[in-house]
Amino acid sequence: MKRNQVVFAVLVLAVLVALGVYAQHQHPFNFALFAQDFHRADWRLVAFGVACIYLGFVLRGLRWALLLRANKPVAPLSLLSTQVIGFTGVALIGRIADLTRPWLAARKTGLSFSSQLAVYIVERLFDLGAMALLFSTAILIGGATLPHPEIFRKVGAWGLVATVAGAIFLVLVRLSGEVVASFFESTLGMLSTHLAAAVAGKIRSFRTGLNTLRSFAGFLGVLALSLGMWVLIAAAYILTTRAFGDPPLHRLTFAQGMVLMASSGVASVVQLPVVGWFTQIGLVAGVLIRLFAADPESATACAATLLGVTFLSILPVGLVWAQIEHVSLRQIAEQSTHVDPVEEADQAVQASAPVTTVEPDPLA
């Protein structure tokens, strides 16, 4: 980790400690009750939650292999290690290690890093779309269990509209990416040349990534794997939360679980090494307390367990697997951060031939 990152992490930790001391002074935290909540939790449900997370990693590996079929067919589970080791690096090092997965996939398959960066972009787009679809659907169906349901239903409805609009936009980019990029470049160019170039570059990068999907069957396969993976992650949140005896936690609904999962996702966007664990626990516990009226001790115990299940449970397997494959997480994280993703994507755009129609996939 660089010096400025260390300084920032120390400052964040100091702020967290100060807030903790202030909170303890204003509203004393019952550590004995906190320990009891752990002791009384149903750890069988927690174990099922961990199993859901592990199965989700299997789906991640299958999805990456499916996205590679157009360039280089690989065995379905041959890239599972890249997912497990990559997310182990993120958990230990922070979001700086987020490009570890495409880096490892490039090394394992012998393909260029730019090609795997394109797969990474598509994967993230499907993650965003699948999670938005599940969130909006859950809110629209089960929003009555949430506080201020009318507000959440509006959020769900607009989220569903945005998801559909985003899907239509991506289809247009996939079929006529250069036309869409040129349109935005010429339109936004009247406001800012730099902004126009940046937006057009992003669209061309997305198109390069979407070229990995050569058939409608491939698209449906990736979508099904994405939805299945996020259903498993949501199940892990719900099972783990219901493991605690506090009634608001033990009776958590699917809609409430989706709100909780979304809150945790926001907290993990800027993930600092170790320090970020405590910020994520604090935010998730705050949601449980303020939105679902859980006791502070139960909410904190639940939030800490959720972090362990959904984020840290992969560490033992990932660290062992990294040793077996002779992977240095820190070294790969540093190497991948030296690569400019935009430059790599531009190289991929230049290297790819224009595609204006959906080509049949011989393996579909």
How buried is 287 (Cβ within 10 angstroms: 0-12 exposed, 13-18 middle, 19+ buried)? buried
What is the overall mean pLDDT for the chain?
80
Q: How far apart are the C-alpha atoms of 28 and 126, rounded to whole Å? A: 43
Q: Which two tokens stand for residue 154?
A: 């509006």
Q: Which range has highest mean pLDDT (94-98, 194-198, 235-239, 335-339)? A: 235-239
Judged against a pLDDT cut of 90, whether residue 342 lies above it is answered with no
Could you count the other beta carbons within 10 Å of the beta carbon of residue 278?
18
**Which pLDDT band, with edges at 50, 70 and 90, does 240 fall under?**
very high
Question: What pLDDT shows up at residue 3?
Answer: 60
Confidence check: pLDDT of 351 > 50: no
Percent of the chain with pLDDT over 90: 28
Predicted pLDDT of residue 244: 94
Residue of 329 and 2 predicted with greater confidence: 329
Q: Is the pLDDT of residue 279 over 60?
A: yes
User: How far is CA 168 from each of CA 121, 161, 165, 172, rounded to the nearest angstrom?
Assistant: 17, 11, 5, 6
Overall average pLDDT of the 111-132 stretch: 86
**Measured distance CA(220)–CA(126) in Å, rounded:** 11
pLDDT value of residue 197? 84
